[in-house]
Amino acid sequence: MALSESPIPPDAQHYLVCGTEDCKKNCQFYCNDCHLPMCEQCRDKHQKNKKTEKHEVVPYKQRKHQIPLEKCKIHPSKHIDLLCEECQIPICSKCTTTKEHRGHLFTDLEMVFAEHFLLCHVEVAKIRSYFEPTSQDLKTEIAEDVKEIMRTIEDIRTSMKAEAESVKKCVDTVTLDKINHVDKIEQSLLETLSGQSQKIDDYINYLHDLIQTFNGYLSPSNIEQLTFALKSKNLIIQPIPETSKPVPPVFTAGQYTKEDVAKLLGRITVPDKIPTLNQRTEK
């Protein structure tokens, strides 16, 4: 995903003021060299100025984010601006000369932050474009399954009652027993579906929390927080919980004689087959 396709980050305001002194116009651009937001007029002046004409000025959404300024605890006169690839800790330029980091590789911390910032946007986009809507679709399917189960159970009740009318009083007792039986099946199936629905609800809440976590990584207030974000395993989005299509019972009408009242009311069975998983594949 290109930066230009990323949504406006949480640190952006609804109305951004130009960062040029005494200018209150709306900010539309950003100088990556000066780390200065600016309006269109100030951008034109900036690019015409011989001292800044070669600066990289981009639309505000495409700006490079400046890392938090923090003094090195070992070398207080220096700012932390590098990442030691081997130690995976932020350091200053003077730290590179110490024996602890001798021979190590170093990366510009601002570049690392930019890559991490982009990664967070990509992951948030995945959640919003696939994981959350797919979870909502599954929840809708489960709701339809609930309706279908209830319709199926109701059809079974109707069939049972129709059979019971044919054999009068001797059927009434058996009818009650079998209705209780089918009610238990319905309760069991609905409890299963309710459990699946709750799993999806919990997962959707997890996705919302994860979005907040990613958003928190986008604007770290200090180097320690940024370092934690770089090492965090929370960037891995947990897969959508598996759900399964319920297998509704099937009513089999019986042949009735007075001696076989139970058979007249039919049998209620749940097919012995593996439930179909509601599988979704990430695009």
Q: What is the rounded average pLDDT of the residues 212-221?
A: 75
User: Residue 237 corresponds to which tokens in the numbers above?
Assistant: 């989005």
Count structural domains, the chain. 2
Count CB atoms within 10 A of the CB of residue 164.
22
Domain membership flag for residue 132:
yes
Domain membership flag for residue 113:
no
Coil/strand/helix, residue 61: helix
Domain membership flag for residue 223:
yes
The secondary structure element, H or E, covering residue 82 is: strand 80-84
137 and 228 inside one domain: yes
pLDDT above 70 (res 256) = no
pLDDT above 80 (res 156) = yes
258 and 174 inside one domain: yes
Q: What is the rounded average pLDDT of the residues 66-82?
A: 91
Query: How many CA atoms within 13 Å lie on the side-chain side of 177?
Result: 11
pLDDT of 2: 35
Give the range of the structural domain holding residue 36, as residue numbers without chain letter: 3-62
User: Residue 8 corresponds to which tokens in the numbers above?
Assistant: 């406006």
User: Which of 62, 86, 101 lies at the terminal end of a domain, its last residue?
Assistant: 62
The secondary structure element, H or E, covering residue 251 is: strand 250-252
- DSSP code of residue 96: G
* Band of residue 72 on the pLDDT scale cut at 50, 70, 90: very high
Domain membership flag for residue 78:
no
* Band of residue 232 on the pLDDT scale cut at 50, 70, 90: low
155 and 233 inside one domain: yes
C-beta separation of 95 from 76 below 8 A: no
The secondary structure element, H or E, covering residue 201 is: helix 168-218
Sign of CA dihedral 9, 11, 16, 56: negative
How many whole angstroms separate alpha carbon 245 and alpha carbon 73?
58
Place of tokens 């004409």: 53
User: What does the mean pLDDT of the chain come to?
Assistant: 84
Query: How many CA atoms within 13 Å lie on the side-chain side of 261?
Result: 16
132 and 263 inside one domain: yes
pLDDT above 70 (res 230) = no
Domain membership flag for residue 110:
no
User: Which of 44, 62, 80 lies at the terminal end of a domain, its last residue?
Assistant: 62
User: Residue 93 corresponds to which tokens in the numbers above?
Assistant: 């330029």
User: Which of 13, 29, 62 lies at the terminal end of a domain, its last residue?
Assistant: 62
Domain membership flag for residue 69:
no
Beta bridge partners, 59, equal 29
Place of tokens 């690839």: 85
CB proximity list for 262: less than 8 A, separation 6 or greater: 174, 254
Q: What is the rounded average pLDDT of the residues 122-147?
A: 93
147 and 55 inside one domain: no
Domain membership flag for residue 85:
no
57 and 132 inside one domain: no
pTM score of the predicted model: 0.52
Q: What is the rounded average pLDDT of the residues 148-163?
A: 88
161 and 257 inside one domain: yes
CATH code for the domain of 19:
3.30.160
Domain membership flag for residue 217:
yes
